[in-house]
Amino acid sequence: MSLTEFDADRPPEKPRRRRGDGRRRRRRGLGEIGMGDGSREGAVVEDVEFERADEYGSYYGRPVVKAPPWKAPIAVYLFLGGVAGGSGLLAFGAQCTRRPLLRRNARLVALGTVGLGTVALIEDLGRPERFLNMMRTVKVTSPMSLGTWVVGGFASLSGVLGALEVDRMTGRKLPLGPLRPLLGAAEGPASLGQVVLAPLLASYTGALLGNTIVPTWEAGRGHLSYLFASSASLAAGGAAMVTTPVAEAGPARLLAAAGVAGDVVSMHRMKESMHPLEREPLETGTPGKLLTWAERLAVAGGIGALLGGRSRVVAAASGAALLTASALTRFGVLNAGLESVKDPRRVIEPQKARLAARRAAGITDDSITAGG
Amino acid sequence: MSLLAGEEGPAAQSGWGHDHERKGFFTDTSICIGCKACEVACKEWNRNPIDGNLEILGSSYDNTGALGANTWRHVAFVEQGRERIEEARESGRKLVSLGMPGIGPKSSGARGATPAGDLSQVDRTPPDTPEFRWLMSSDVCKHCTNAGCLDVCPTGAIFRSEFGSVVVQQDVCNGCGTCVSACPFGVIERRDDGTVSPFAVREEEDPRRGTASKCTLCYDRLVDGEEPACSATCPTQSITFGDHPDLAEDAKQRVADLHARGMTEARLYGTNPKDGVGGTGSVFLLLDEPEVYGLPPDPQVPTKSLPKTYARTGLAAAGMVAAVALSFLGARR
Ligand code: SF4
Ligand code: SF4
Ligand code: SF4
């Protein structure tokens, strides 16, 4: 509505400016511009530069959706959970094929990583002391809820198996007393339970990130579980190559190589399936660098495992490269998602595109905006 | 996946029975004057901390910025010139011609000027396009029919109230932040700082620190038979509170009125139960595309595709088991 007749007399509009024209506007507090003590009369907003929202195609370039408050501990958790899951599977395989060293090491790695991972997860809560509130309920609609139960179950079983292994290593010196036979009897069921939960522990994090509206993760929904399971496989393989003599680590090397293949393929397929604006955070900036290095290290580690894995030194170096690669992948994917939220175009453009695609396909009744 | 869309409405479908009508807001942005009384009323009633440091954001009269942990009502200000107004008229007109859930005015219109019945004969010549306009819109939690925040909360801290609204129990929430990433509207947020007192006197600790926070639809007032603080204080009735079906009806009527007067830029946001969140409890009448106000153009609750996502997780897990099995079979001693 025209408020005054002077509106007709406005100077012609300047051509629209686009984002990123290099001008940064400084925000000021009221105190800074002369209202602080009331002694100076106020050209309060004199030199504040105002912007037009439509310069952006969004509301002043502000984010439309919010990123979860997840920081580095969550990336660490994603990584450690993956190592734990993969190691649980390796331990079971080693138990079945009578590879005692691989079995022992994998079980200990599983226990250590799932323990540290849980600490990292709790650390990132707003109210860590209420961690147990997640045990109030089981919610199928919440990957976080199901995941917590998987982690909890896996950690308990790993505790049993880890205690057994430590007891064996120390020549039955743990002060277990009457619990020892019980623990021994629990080995079978516990390792069965562990092997059931292990692959879920490694892959559910894909659903955890995928079941969000963070543009890059949302777009990767269909691929993140594959990526994370692959990354977990190569990391667990790497951990076993570092800890276990080459004679028993054959399966770990193969698993690591398979993990590398899955990792590289699923990352590329995930990127292919994305809108360019959703893909960009995975390829640029710090997350982009992390992911490039993750891929290089993974490939190097995979080749090392296949070709040089029978040398203890090469195996250990490749294993370390694989572990690093997996950690970088988790940090890269987590940070790319957090980054993708900052630019509203990454939300608005893909959404407009999918809405337009549905309209073009003749579906016109499911839009949130309606003519009446 | 326990999606609540359905004829019965979310309150009944989540087990409250049928004696409760779903409550909601109709925010008619065409009569908002941008006074921010709702923002203030909400802050005061809920004793929410200040956001920012009294900055001037340089975005018209909006110095609040966005909805967040401490800001549960946010009035958006957008300045537009003639060109953009014309675009908005055009896009609004298209919505109708697309056969989007159509204009169906009540035959006995509540508002005097309402033409009854078929609108196709009505003269739709727009009034003179103004040179300039301000869009003002008071944004709030949508209290979605299928609320992403509620679906993913692992502690059960978020619940569906008997009024069909979505409420966080801040004494249960452990601050995991999952809900933040599941809200398609960027509403809910974890309160990581802020006390009730202003910055200068920061002594009290906010007991709600570290937990997720958002509009409660004034649950504490509703159980006492009061209406929410924000709508009660709104001087122009831009924010109306009431039974959801009535509000949706009013909204449709109003948009039909505006279209009849040629103001085809008017459109509804959130009234369609078939949209990506099953329709919203807070519905809006907008005068431009949703993204202009900072609203997503096609929000989809993530839970909708969760079965598929879980299937991928299962497949990935199975693949991993297979890879391990093959590794053990393939490895020579
Ligand atoms: S708008 Fe966001 S915070 Fe509000 S009910 Fe919907 S999903 Fe939850
Ligand atoms: S932050 Fe609180 S309300 Fe949000 S999902 Fe976690 S426990 Fe639930
Ligand atoms: S309903 Fe209550 S809590 Fe929600 S915005 Fe209004 S005043 Fe704030």
Ligand 3 pocket, CB under 6 A: B 41-42, 45-46, 72-73, 140, 215-218, 228-230
The reply to whether A311 touches chain B by the CB within 8 Å rule is no
Q: What residues are paired with B78 via a beta bridge?
A: B135
Would the CB atoms of A369 and B327 count as touching at under 8 Å?
no
What is the mean pLDDT of the segment spanning B227-251?
A: 94
The reply to whether A37 touches chain B by the CB within 8 Å rule is no
Rounded to whole angstroms, what are the CA distances from B44 to A295, B26, B72, B218, B233? 52, 22, 11, 12, 12
What is the mean pLDDT of the segment spanning A187-194?
A: 95
State residue B121's pLDDT score. Answer: 55
Name the closest ligand to CA B145. 1
Q: Which atom of ligand 3 is nearest to the CA of B221?
A: 2
State residue A229's pLDDT score. Answer: 98
Name the closest ligand to CA B212. 2
Q: Which atom of ligand 3 is nearest to the CA of B241?
A: 1
A146-156 residue pLDDT tens = 999 999 999 99
Rounded to whole angstroms, what are the CA distances from B280 to A67, B76, B298? 22, 19, 13
Indicate the length of chain A as a whole number. Answer: 372
Domain extent at residue B193:
10-305
The CATH number linked to B14 is 3.30.70.20
The answer to whether residue B17 scores a pLDDT higher than 90 is: no
Question: Do the Cβ atoms of B92 and B266 come closer than 8 Å?
Answer: yes
State residue A38's pLDDT score. Answer: 46
Range picked from A4-18, A191-205, B319-333 for highest mean pLDDT: A191-205
The answer to whether residue A225 scores a pLDDT higher than 60 is: yes
Say which CATH topology domain A72-339 has.
Formate dehydrogenase/DMSO reductase fold (1.20.1630)
Residue B4 within any structural domain of the chain: no
Instruction: Compute the distance from residue B175 Cα to the ligand 2 centre, in Å.
Output: 5
**Residue B262 pLDDT level (bands cut at 50, 70, 90):** confident
Q: What are phi and psi of B78, to 5 degrees?
A: -130, 130
State residue A16's pLDDT score. Answer: 37
Average pLDDT for chain A: 88
Range picked from A46-50, B55-59, B258-262 for highest mean pLDDT: B258-262
More confident: B50 or A76: A76
Rounded to whole angstroms, what are the CA distances from A119 to A58, A81, A135, A236, A306? 40, 11, 16, 19, 34
Residue B259 within any structural domain of the chain: yes
**Residue B150 pLDDT level (bands cut at 50, 70, 90):** very high
> What is the rounded CA–CA span in Å between residue B258 and residue B114?
9
ipTM: 0.87
CA torsion through residues B216, B221, B227, B231, sign: negative
More confident: B147 or B204: B147
State residue B22's pLDDT score. Answer: 92
* Chain A positions in Cβ-Cβ contact with residue B131 (cut-off 8 Å): 2, 7-8, 10
Sequence spans of domains, chain A: 72-339
State residue B313's pLDDT score. Answer: 97
The residue among A271, A181, A186 whose CA lies nearest residue A223 is: A271
State residue B109's pLDDT score. Answer: 37
Residue B255 within any structural domain of the chain: yes
The answer to whether residue B276 scores a pLDDT higher than 70 is: yes
What chain A residue is nearest to B183 in terms of C-alpha separation?
A213
Task: Give me the number of domains chain B comprises.
Answer: 1
Residue B333 within any structural domain of the chain: no
The answer to whether residue B5 scores a pLDDT higher than 50 is: no
- B174 within ligand 2 shell (Cβ under 6 A): yes
The answer to whether residue A4 scores a pLDDT higher than 70 is: no
What is the mean pLDDT of the segment spanning A149-170?
A: 95
Question: Do the Cβ atoms of A61 and A347 come closer than 8 Å?
Answer: no
State residue B113's pLDDT score. Answer: 40
Q: What residues are paired with B75 via a beta bridge?
A: B138
B115-136 residue pLDDT tens = 444 555 555 556 677 788 899 9
Question: Do the Cβ atoms of B136 and B32 come closer than 8 Å?
Answer: yes
Instruction: Compute the distance from residue B23 Cα to the ligand 2 centre, in Å.
Output: 23
Question: Do the Cβ atoms of A241 and A253 come closer than 8 Å?
Answer: yes
State residue B209's pLDDT score. Answer: 84
The reply to whether A152 touches chain B by the CB within 8 Å rule is no
The answer to whether residue A11 scores a pLDDT higher than 80 is: no
> What is the rounded CA–CA span in Å between residue B10 and residue A57?
34
Would the CB atoms of B180 and A225 count as touching at under 8 Å?
no
Residue type, A343: D
Q: Which residue from A62, A145, A148 is facing B65, i.e. has the nearest CB? A: A62
Inter-chain CB pairs, A–B, below 8 Å? 379
> What is the rounded CA–CA span in Å between residue A221 and residue A210?
4
What is the mean pLDDT of the segment spanning A40-57?
A: 59
The answer to whether residue A281 scores a pLDDT higher than 90 is: yes
State residue B192's pLDDT score. Answer: 80
State residue A23's pLDDT score. Answer: 43
Of A211-225, B29-43, B193-207, B272-286, the poorest mean pLDDT is in B193-207
> What is the rounded CA–CA span in Å between residue B25 and residue B4?
19
State residue B205's pLDDT score. Answer: 67
The answer to whether residue A10 scores a pLDDT higher than 70 is: no
Residue B332 within any structural domain of the chain: no
Question: Do the Cβ atoms of A69 and B180 come closer than 8 Å?
Answer: yes
- B212 within ligand 2 shell (Cβ under 6 A): yes
The answer to whether residue A241 scores a pLDDT higher than 90 is: yes
Question: Do the Cβ atoms of A254 and B326 come closer than 8 Å?
Answer: yes
Q: What are phi and psi of A283, to 5 degrees?
A: -115, -10
Token pair 């990957």 is found at A143
State residue A59's pLDDT score. Answer: 93
Rounded to whole angstroms, what are the CA distances from A151 to A104, A138, A221, A236? 20, 13, 21, 16
The answer to whether residue B333 scores a pLDDT higher than 90 is: no
The answer to whether residue A43 scores a pLDDT higher than 60 is: no
Residue type, B186: G
> What is the rounded CA–CA span in Å between residue A26 and residue B56?
10
Would the CB atoms of A1 and B325 count as touching at under 8 Å?
no
Q: What residues are paired with A317 via a beta bridge?
A: none
State residue A54's pLDDT score. Answer: 58
What is the mean pLDDT of the segment spanning B35-57?
A: 88
Could you tell me which residues come within 8 angstroms of residue B294 by beta carbon, excluding any fewer than 6 positions away?
A: A58, A59, A60, A62, A64, A344, B66, B76, B139
Two tokens, residue B239: 């924010």
State residue A370's pLDDT score. Answer: 87
Integer-rounded Cα radius of gyration of chain B:
23
Collapsed DSSP state (helix, strand, coil) of residue A67: coil
